[in-house]
A and B are shown apart, each in its own frame.
Chain A
Amino acid sequence: MLKSARKMGLIFFPAYDWAISPTHPEREERLLYTQDQIWEEGLLDIEGITEFRPGVATAADVERAHFCVPDVAGQTTESHMISAGGAMKAADVVLSKQVDCAFALVRPPGHHAMKVVHGNRGFCNINIEAVMIECLRDRYGTGKIAIVDTDCHHGDGTQDIYWYDRDTLFISLHQDGRTLYPGSGFPDEMGSIGACGYTMNVPLPPHTGDEGYLHVIENLVLPVLEDFKPELVINSAGQDNHYSDPITNMMLSAQGYATLNARLKPDIAVLEGGYSIEGALPYVNVAIVLAMAGMDFSSVREPDYDSKVRKQHPQVTEYVKAVSEMLLLQWKNREELAAKMRKGKSHEERRRSIFYDTDGIMESRRERSRICEECSGSLRIESSSDQGNSICAIHIPKSACGRCHREGLDNYTKASKRDFDWIYLQDRKTGAFERK
């Protein structure tokens, strides 16, 4: 009987009765062949691999990470709550030490969902990793967490949620935003002044293959993680950088994914995108499960591997090397960079427009955050959508110092219903969530 080297939990929830629309990539069929492959390979019979049933997230779970407009029920369906509940279950079984690591193979995905939710962006309504992380912070008191997002698309939602948080290191490896949705994720997006460097974007040129991805993991991600020393490493495991994916242009293979995983050794992996449902997902997921369980995955490969996989172009290799070096330097210099940007400011402000492609919504947002030596600073967001909702949201981080906490509470009290449809307070320090 096969036995895994690491005890691993698998949360499989294919939501066979949910789709965005009948022909949408995010449809019932998406994980069907993955299930077939996992079952036929007998992965769940391996001693040390256990399947767990997902939980169902509650509105309070979602409110730890988001400001849903007007409320959680207005932005989610059961399927989102189970997907988030699946990720939460993965965290639970790892932190309660039932297993060494866990993989939430759930849908729909979440990494394009931002702090404020007016609708669906890039197939995502709520950010299932963020809901999971905030939940485990409350439940287990976990502090420093690193998220390595290997989905082919920039994880702009996760970036947005943790932009001001220096306890959460967010690293996204993705196809260059000049060539793919959502068009962001450039090296100069490195977090707020107070959390400068704790957001790291690694844009990769189209046609990057196993070699390029592994180079970044080896020469950039692992050294940075070594330096940051997170208590937990989470992989947003999108599988759309596969060579057969219909909506992207990368060249990663199942072997590449598995090797990446074996090197990164995430505590928790959460499925994100990946729409080559027949040619990639079944093989990639089997390979990831084996890699996470510390088992031999060398004979897992796609049926068309030999005819389709080409060696990465030398130009791509050079480019990837240069980006890695530059970003590693940027990480090392993050404090000097922050000091330069700060230049005596007490607060920082940013204004942005956010497009919700799935729902066709345009959001305008203004953020003001206190730059604090002691904590991640309180945050005030004004956000309105072209659908007519205007809100003000106050976020107080878990690490908030007394002064930032007071400023956050003060901002909430001062915000007037005359100016906004809804005013929210997300006090992560006390755990309170209010709306007026």
Chain B
Amino acid sequence: MIIGIDVGGTNTDAVLLQGSEVLSKIKTATVPDNLVSSITAALDHLLEGRNVRDIERIILSTTLSTNAIVQDRLEGAAMIVSAGPGIDARHYSVGPQYHVTGGSIDHRGRECERLDGYAVDNIFLELGRVQLRAIGVVSKFSTRNPSHEAEIGRKAEKTFDYVALGHAMSGTLNFPRRVATTYLNASTHHLHRSFVNAITKAFSDRGVEAPLFILKADGGTMPLDYSRDFSAFTICSGPAASIMGLMALVSKEHFIGLDIGGTTTDISLFYRGVPLFKPYGISIGNHRTLIRGLLTRSVPLGGDSEVALKDGKIAVGPLRKGKAKAFGGEIPTLTDALLTLGEGGEAHHECARKAMEEIAALRGVSAREAALETVETAAAIIREKVENLIAEVNTRPVYTIREMLEGETVSPDLVVAVGGPSQAMAPWLEKSLGRPVINPCHSEVANALGAALAKVTTELTLHADTEQGWMLIVEKGLKEIIESSFSMAEAKKAALEHIRAQSELMIHDGNDFEFTEEHEFAMVRGFYSTGRNIRVRVQSKPGLTGRVGEEGS
């Protein structure tokens, strides 16, 4: 049996799965400021009448770090960055103690300017006087040569309880994002670590011996223990849980995912059965990061969106001013419009119709006509955002003639909608989007299902430069000497060995890997070839460990 628990801002969803069958599910209100108790309460409910030994694994998804960032409750971390010439690194200042020091590395990983050990020591003298437990260290092009980060990192260990190094976060080039990512990792570390410790204890108190995992923003998981060093990867895992949930509920290849909530509608895209990634990494607050995340677009439109008359026309959203009138709110909402159009004569239908009548009177139409216009307007807004997102994905820059001419196009032919108003909206969405809309079963616990069925994911970047005679396993900071004959085949083999070794530490079930980047460039100086520049990126194939039973209507 597998357990998935998603602690959202409002609700905590949990499911207990046996194969593709949902044995038990629960949705409760999240206890603010006590995520551990929200999780254990859900767990206790699911375990009622079950044998704790039958649990194979438990996957959690939490908003702990996300909320700390959004609510500006970060503990804070010191930062030391070294950038050399280029855009002034002071522009990327973040946190309470941000220090720029000398030293520079170029795009080939060559040291252009040495670190000034004396200057670095002085920074630590200053940092010794402030009360910070964590520090982030980042240098420009550290993904080509992490030695400056490592050198500063070694000095930092004397003063700081936790040191995050930029190159360990991601193998992707982008210095400003590396700074932000490393800062977030360092400044969420202690908060996340306490959570991991508390959960581990609470679970062991209940006799749970099954391995524990936590969901990442990329829709994959990592072992809870392992996550201590990568707390930043759990940021924005909420949307990822929902997207993976959509994927778990239908077995389709190309579709549009819509999660229609109270305040927003989140759009996602699925291509060849897997969700699309964000081009660079997730953004949160003012931070743009290198944290791999799933592509999602949030539209300020949901069941509780305000319906009002603007310039003689009915407008829906972007504001939410409380619940629907049908459920005791103050102003007419999209939900009121949907109820007006629906069947049924319960009391809240009556309230909804009255809400629509207010708008209808201003517009000079009937309540039903006003409701119809409302719903059609909402569907049109969603359609516009969906088409924009698809167009954006299909016009992403590419860098080879082959991709330019044979570029694959994302053209989903189906919509999978979950969330409160999704069923009522379905007919209008079908008409507006021109695609069939599916409302799958169990969609109320889609997030927990997404977490439960997510796979362990990992990624590794290898950079080899035969002219200089080295290869670097970037995220590990591992540099090895290579022969001048080192080839792409050897690079791929080495990358696979390293990612296998890494994932064996993380699991369990065998993983399939795929290369997401394989570039090889002959380096020519004068008229002679001097070596090869090889770039390889390998990842565990994204996907799910299973799917949930029959599909909905």
Knowing A16-B400, A27-B524 are in contact, say whether A40-B533 is a contact too (CB < 8 A). no
A299 touches B85 (CB 8 A): yes
Q: Which residues 293-312 in A have Cβ within 8 Å of B in the complex?
A: 296, 299-303, 305
B286, B401, B526: residue with the most chain A Cβ atoms closer than 10 Å: B401
6-55 of chain A: CB within 8 A of chain B: 12-18, 22-23, 27-29, 32-33, 35-37, 39-43, 45, 51-54
A23 touches B85 (CB 8 A): no
Interface string of A48-75 (1 = CB under 8 A from B): 0001111010000000000000000000
In the assembled complex, the CB of A129 is this many whole angstroms from the nearest CB of chain B, namely 20
Q: Which of B172, B175, B405, B533 contacts A41 (CB 8 A)?
A: B175
Q: Are B526 and A45 in contact (CB-based, < 8 A)?
A: no
Q: Could you say which of A35, A52, A56, A302 contacts B404, with CB atoms under 8 Å apart?
A: A56
Chain B residues whose CB sits within 8 angstroms of the CB of A78 once the complex forms: 401, 404-405
- Given known A-B contacts A35-B399, A39-B174, A23 and B86 have beta carbons under 8 A apart: no
Contact yes or no, B399 A54, CB < 8 A: no
Given contacts A32-B533, A41-B86, contact A53 B107 (CB under 8 A): no
Assess the A36–B87 pair: CB atoms within 8 A.
no
Report if A79 contacts B (CB, 8 A): yes
Interface: B88 (CB within 8 A): yes
Contact of B108 among A42, A53, A278 (CB under 8 A): A278
Residues of A within 8 A of B288 (CB): 1, 45
Tell me, yes or no, whether A286 is within 8 Å of chain B by CB. yes
Which residues of B in the span 180-206 have a Cβ within 8 Å of any Cβ on A? none
Closest chain-B Cβ to A255's Cβ sits at a distance in Å of 10
Asked if A14 meets B529 with Cβ closer than 8 Å, knowing A32-B521, A42-B176, A56-B405, the reply is no
Q: In the complex, which range does the number of interface residues on chain B fall in?
A: 35 or more
Using Cβ atoms and an 8 Å threshold, which residues of chain A touch B527?
23
Do A301 and B85 touch (CB < 8 A)? yes
| A51 / chain B contacts, CB cutoff of 8 Å | 397
Roughly how many angstroms separate A210 CA and B401 CA in the complex, as a whole number? 36
A88 at the B interface (CB under 8 A)? no
> Would B177 and A29 count as touching, CB distance under 8 A?
no
> By the criterion CB–CB under 8 Å, are B397 and A282 in contact?
no
Interface pair A2/B395, CB less than 8 Å apart = no
How distant is the Cα of A311 from the Cα of B104 in the complex, in angstroms? Answer: 25
Residues 157-182 of B, flagged 1 when their CB comes within 8 A of A and 0 if not, give: 00000000000000011111100000
Q: Of B112, B173, B398, B523, which is within 8 A of A303 by CB? A: B112
A299, B533: Cα distance in complex, Å: 28
The CA of A302 and the CA of B110, in the complex, are separated in Å by 13
Instruction: Evaluate contact between B107 and A82: CB separation under 8 angstroms.
Output: no
* Distance between Cα atoms of A283 and B523 in the complex (Å): 19
Q: How far is the CB of B279 from chain A (nearest CB, A)?
A: 9
B521–A28 CB distance below 8 A: yes
- Pair A37/B87 contact, Cβ less than 8 Å: no
Q: Is B396 located at the chain interface by the 8 A CB criterion?
A: yes
B397–A53 CB distance below 8 A:
yes
- Give complex CA distance A42, B181 in Å: 13
B177 touches A42 (CB 8 A): yes
Tell me if B402 counts as interface (CB < 8 A to partner A).
yes
B97 to chain A, nearest CB (A): 20
Distance of B523 from chain A, by nearest CB (Å): 6
Given contacts A29-B522, A45-B177, A299-B88, contact A18 B107 (CB under 8 A): no
Complex CA gap A214/B285 in Å reads 42
Check A223 for interface membership: any CB of B closer than 8 A.
no
Q: Is A246 an interface residue when CB atoms closer than 8 A count as contact?
A: yes
A2 CA to B179 CA, complexed, in Å: 14
Question: Is B280 within 8 A of A45, CB to CB?
Answer: yes
User: Interface 1/0s, chain B 87-111, versus A by CB < 8 A?
Assistant: 1100100000000000010111000
**Which residue of chain A has the shortest Cβ distance to B287 in the bound complex?**
A1
> Hey, which chain B residues are within 8 Å of A286, CB to CB?
86-87
Residues of A within 8 A of B528 (CB): 23
Contact in complex: A15, B87 (CB < 8 Å): no
Instruction: Please report which residues of chain B, range 380-400, place their CB below 8 angstroms from some CB of chain A when the two chains form the complex.
Output: 395-400
Does A290 count as interface, using CB distance less than 8 angstroms?
Answer: yes
Interface residues of B in 477-522 (CB under 8 A from A): 519, 521-522
Task: Judge whether B174 and A42 touch: CB under 8 Å.
Answer: yes
- The complex places the Cα of A2 from the Cα of B92 at a distance, in Å, of 8
- Cβ-defined partner of B86 (8 Å) among A17, A29, A278, A299: A299
Contact among A28, A33, A299, A302 with B87 in the assembled complex (CB-CB below 8 Å):
A299
Tell me how far the C-beta of B290 lies from the nearest C-beta in chain A, rounded to whole angstroms: 10
**B140 contacts the other chain (Cβ, under 8 Å)?**
yes
Question: How far, in whole Å, are A206 and B399 apart by their CA atoms in the complex?
Answer: 35
Q: A23–B175 Cα gap in the complex (Å)?
A: 32
Q: What CA separation (Å) do A282 and B141 show in the bound complex?
A: 13
Knowing A29-B524, A53-B395 are in contact, say whether A45-B174 is a contact too (CB < 8 A). Answer: yes
Q: Are A41 and B521 touching (Cβ within 8 A)?
A: no
Note all chain B residues with C-beta closer than 8 A to A22: 522, 524, 529
CB distance from A153 to the nearest CB of B (A): 19
Shortest Cβ gap from B515 to chain A (Å):
16
Whether A246 contacts B405 by the Cβ 8 Å rule is no
Q: How many angstroms from the CA of A301 to the CA of B104 in the assembled complex?
A: 12
Q: Are A37 and B401 in contact (CB under 8 A)?
A: no
Q: What are the residues of chain A within 8 A of B400 when measuring CB–CB? A: 15-17
Given contacts A1-B288, A2-B91, contact A36 B174 (CB under 8 A): no
Contact B280–A303 (Cβ < 8 Å): no
Most chain-A Cβ atoms within 10 A of its Cβ — which of B84, B108, B286, B397?
B397
Partner of B397, one of A1, A12, A79: A12
What B residues does A278 contact at CB under 8 A? 107-108
Q: Shortest CB–CB separation between residue B398 and chain A, in angstroms?
A: 7
B526 neighbours in A (Cβ, 8 Å): 246
Q: Which residues in window 85-125 of A have CB below 8 A to B?
A: none
Q: How far is the CA of A78 from the CA of B370 in the complex (A)?
A: 54
- Mark each residue of chain B from 397 to 426: 1 if its CB lies under 8 Å from any CB of chain A, else 0: 111111011000000000000000000000
Q: State the 5 A-B residue pairs at the shortest beta-carbon distance, nearest first.
A: A42-B176, A303-B112, A36-B107, A39-B173, A40-B173
Supply 12 A–B pairs (Cβ within 8 Å), ascending by A: A15-B401, A17-B402, A22-B529, A33-B108, A40-B141, A40-B173, A45-B177, A45-B280, A51-B397, A82-B404, A286-B86, A301-B85
| Besides the known contacts A29-B522, A35-B399, A78-B405, 5 further A-B residue pairs in the complex with CB atoms under 8 A apart | A12-B399, A16-B521, A29-B521, A42-B176, A301-B85
Q: Which residues of A contact B (CB under 8 A)?
A: 1-2, 12-18, 22-23, 27-29, 32-33, 35-37, 39-43, 45, 51-54, 56, 78-79, 82, 246, 278, 282-283, 286, 290, 296, 299-303, 305
